[in-house]
Amino acid sequence: MKKITKILLSEKEMPRQWYNIVADMPNKPMPPLHPLTREPIGPDALAAVFPMELIKQEVSTERYIDIPDEVLDLYKIYRPSPLFRAVNLEKALGTKSKIYYKYEGGNYSGSHKANTAIAQAYYNKKEGIKRITTETGAGQWGSAMSYACHHFGLELLVFMVKVSFDQKPGRKLLMNTYGAKVIPSPSTMTAAGRKILELDPESPGSLGIAISEAMEVAVQDPYTKYSLGSVLNHVVLHQTIIGQEALIQMEKAGDYPDVVIGCFGGGSNFSGIAFPFLRENLQKGKKTRLLTVEPSSCPKLTKGKFMYDFGDSAGMTPLLPMYTLGHNFIPEKIHAGGLRYHGAGVLVSQLLKDGFIEAKAKMQRECFEGGVLFARTEGILPAPESNYAIAGALDEARKADLEGVSRTILFNLSGHGHFDISAYEKYFENNLPDHELTQAEVDEAISKIELPV
Ligand SMILES: *Cc1c(COP(=O)(O)O)cnc(C)c1O
């Protein structure tokens, strides 16, 4: 029998709602706190930075939220995204397991980030906003927002983490092409950036610093709002279109995953593919394992601490209950720029704490090795971030073979690596160092966390 290798959905079959895991969580997430009073903050406290509709989604307990028509119109250009069975990869491994992947790189931004960028730009435009500020690590988020903002007639100012700005000039030019302004962060444009540069003029930057800069600019003007590409509940919500589609596609393939895997930066692509399957676990007693893979050099889920901490380095966000390495932690300059974030989303953090999901950490060389094997067998060059999910999937297949069983593995291929070719060059030159943070180093970083009270 010929194996099905590509499962497509028609436009008609595309889900029309996002799924909100909060409705099904046994332990609801703890509230964000005001940093000084330590009282839970209300939605109004976020009104200076986000439009009301996104704040409502941020605190919503509704199970399903309708996707607006204007957002669906842009989704339809590139969604439903394909689900593939990686038969050539399976053959190369000689595995008894089945490996499926959902490909989110086939859109203008080259990653899953477009799914929330379009929604966020739309809600801002609807509420009369003129300009958006944001941060970007590797540049995928900035690219995703650049086109979405241009489409809806919004200006965009992007603070790009300096190490990525230097490593990935192509991403900056793509953002410029879509009409956005891009500034390397830390910059002298903001008080937060100047403070970092005073301490370390050579600072490589971090997502935490870039977020502080973007927020600082946004709060100074009522027609400017800020936008975040991961971590927050509304971002995770928008990404659930991935898993909603994948559920239907797996059914069409006549299969169901034993394990669903995503790489982990702040949690949005993992949550996007995993939460609809977690719903099936919680509501229907399915037993799918949900596995995140993070870099050993930025191991917030596997070695960090669950506590209230800031989402940015200057302490402008509310305090959020999450796994963190400390908001001042500056990760090593690994090439998966999108995974260099000190914290984790509130929903994923609570679910990890409650044992509904699993986390593991991996080194970058092994992940690139997996990425190259994937490219040579399946023909798609993965984003360095996605290589962590691939490496996680390879582990699962090899483990199953050792145990003499066949598993059905599904992972999210969160993006392509066409702008990351110099990272692959470094890998081929054997010039990609492994870096692992020890528990002692993590504990030391956490002991230095300074909170206002
Ligand atoms: C941003 C990004 C990530 C990491 O962010 P999450 O919010 O954890 O998904 C992973 N892969 C790609 C391709 C990205 O652009």
Report the pLDDT value the prediction gives residue 1, as an integer from 0 to 100: 58
Report the pLDDT value the prediction gives residue 231, as an integer from 0 to 100: 94
Question: Which mutation among 102, 108, 113 tests ligand 1's pocket best, with the greatest number of atoms within 8 A of CB?
Answer: 113
211-225: pLDDT as tens digits: 999 999 999 999 999
Report, as an integer, the average pLDDT of 49-67: 97
Residue 415 CB–ligand 1 contact under 6 Å: yes
Residue 265 CB–ligand 1 contact under 6 Å: yes
Residue 105 CB–ligand 1 contact under 6 Å: no
Q: What is the mean pLDDT of the chain?
A: 95
Q: Which residue has the tokens 């194996």?
A: 3
Which protein residue's CA is at the shortest distance from atom 7 of ligand 1?
Answer: 268
Q: Is residue 11 predicted with pLDDT exceeding 80?
A: yes
- Determine which of 153-157, 163-167, 221-225 has the lowest per-residue pLDDT on average: 163-167
What is the Å distance from ligand 1's center to 402 Cα? 31
Domain architecture of the chain: domains with CATH: 69-110+238-447 (3.40.50.1100)
Which protein residue's CA is at the shortest distance from atom 4 of ligand 1?
Answer: 265
Residue 268 CB–ligand 1 contact under 6 Å: yes
Question: Which mutation among 101, 102, 134, 140 tests ligand 1's pocket best, with the greatest number of atoms within 8 A of CB?
Answer: 140
Q: Name the pLDDT band for 327 (thresholds 50, 70, 90).
A: very high
Question: Which mutation among 237, 385, 386, 411 tests ligand 1's pocket best, with the greatest number of atoms within 8 A of CB?
Answer: 385
Task: Considering only residues 110 and 330, tell me which one the structure prediction assigns the higher pLDDT.
Answer: 110
Q: Name the pLDDT band for 316 (thresholds 50, 70, 90).
A: confident
344-398: pLDDT as tens digits: 999 999 999 999 999 999 999 999 999 999 999 999 999 999 999 999 999 999 9
